[in-house]
Amino acid sequence: MTVARIDARFAALKAEGRPGLVVFVTAGDPDLETSFEVIRALPAAGADVIEIGMPFTDPMADGPAIQAAGLRALANGQTLAKTLGLVRRFRETDQATPLVLMGYYNPIYSYGVPRFLTDAKAAGIDGLIVVDLPTEEDPELCLPALEQDIAFIRLATPTTDDKRLPTVLRHTSGFVYYVSINGITGSAAPDCNAVAAAVARLKRHTELPVAVGFGIRTPEQAAEIGGNADAAVVGSAVVSMIGEAAAEGLTGKPLADRISAFVATLAAGVRGAKRSAA
């Protein structure tokens, strides 16, 4: 079961008594080979779970950094098939790190849902986050994914009230992704007190791990969030650094080394978090 990798990782984190670090990068950014080098290096740098963004032309929930990353990738010919190929290459040397595809439904729909799920499972994908498919559309992708033992990870937000929350959580598996701010990715810093209260509320409704993302850019923020959640998710800060390095002309392993050094500081922050969550 592919879901087992996610479950095993969060069980190991719980046994270690520490939160995890989830790192998001966009597939094919700034080019396919460099993207592979970055993703391959993330586990050694301290990433416990890797989210791989599927580039899309209309990423409505993403801020400027991730939008730009998607455009760079698409300009270099990135496709969903190539993204799955990247995952297969990663799995040749790493069978332990959970990999989650994150993005929008359109590329999956265009690829064909049954074919996509078959290919994603064969490649080694553990979970999906599809931000524009509400629970009312679960038969489209969520339920078929669960039948293939691929986790379907839901987003909960500050506006998800107690009446809506059970519906959101009904078919959620792997972990719950709590969006710490209202707005697009990378647009503001999270309020740690508000996050602590939100995570506590979520845990009254589910036994799944809760990962918190949007707006975490520094090791200190990652540590603060990690003190109240099962994992901190960092995306825009990493993607921004990839864009800056690419603009300087870095590619391949030199770019990956720069990203790894930054991720290592985030991992150190998370590992030093003072836990206050159950």
- 212 within a domain of the structure (yes/no): yes
Candidate list 7, 29, 51, 126, residue with the active-site label: 51
CA distance 80 to 107: 7
- pLDDT for 160-206, tens place per residue? 988 999 999 999 999 999 998 765 555 556 678 889 999 999 999 99
CA distance 255 to 237: 15
Taking a C-beta distance cutoff of 8 angstroms, is the pair 19, 232 a contact? yes
Q: What is the CATH number of the domain that holds 11?
A: 3.20.20.70
16 catalytic? Reply is no
For residue 127, give the nearest of 107, 105, 114, 146 by alpha carbon.
146
Residues 6+ apart with CB under 8 A from 187: 63, 181, 214, 215
Residue 141 has pLDDT above 50, yes or no: yes
92 catalytic? Reply is no
- pLDDT for 145-167, tens place per residue? 999 999 999 999 998 988 999 99
Q: Cα 77 from chain centroid?
A: 22
- 91 within a domain of the structure (yes/no): yes
Residue 19 has pLDDT above 60, yes or no: yes
Candidate list 31, 48, 62, 224, residue with the active-site label: 62
- 220 within a domain of the structure (yes/no): yes
Give how many domains the chain has, as a whole number.
Answer: 1
The band of 277, judged by pLDDT with boundaries at 50, 70 and 90, is very low
Q: Say if residue 85 is exposed, middle or buried (CB neighbours under 10 Å; 0-12, 13-18, 19+).
A: middle
Q: Mean pLDDT in the chain?
A: 93
Residue 278 has pLDDT above 50, yes or no: no
**Range with lowest mean pLDDT among 84-98, 116-130, 264-278:** 264-278
CA distance 144 to 156: 21
Helix, strand, or coil (residue 36): helix
- 276 within a domain of the structure (yes/no): no
Residue 222 has pLDDT above 90, yes or no: yes
Average confidence (pLDDT) over 17-31: 97
- 193 within a domain of the structure (yes/no): yes
- 257 within a domain of the structure (yes/no): yes
- pLDDT for 227-276, tens place per residue? 999 999 999 999 999 999 999 999 999 999 999 999 999 999 999 887 66
- 277 within a domain of the structure (yes/no): no
Q: Say if residue 222 is exposed, middle or buried (CB neighbours under 10 Å; 0-12, 13-18, 19+).
A: buried
Taking a C-beta distance cutoff of 8 angstroms, is the pair 21, 47 a contact? yes
Q: What is the pLDDT of residue 189?
A: 66
Which domain range does residue 165 map to? 3-271
DSSP 60-105: TT--HHHHHHHHHHHHTT--HHHHHHHHHHHHTT-SSS-EEEEE-H
CA distance 241 to 239: 5
- pLDDT for 233-243, tens place per residue? 999 999 999 99
The two beta strands, 210-213 and 176-179, are parallel
Dihedral sign computed on CA atoms, order 141, 147, 148, 149: positive
The band of 1, judged by pLDDT with boundaries at 50, 70 and 90, is very low
Q: What is the pLDDT of residue 58?
A: 86
Taking a C-beta distance cutoff of 8 angstroms, is the pair 231, 49 a contact? yes
- 213 within a domain of the structure (yes/no): yes
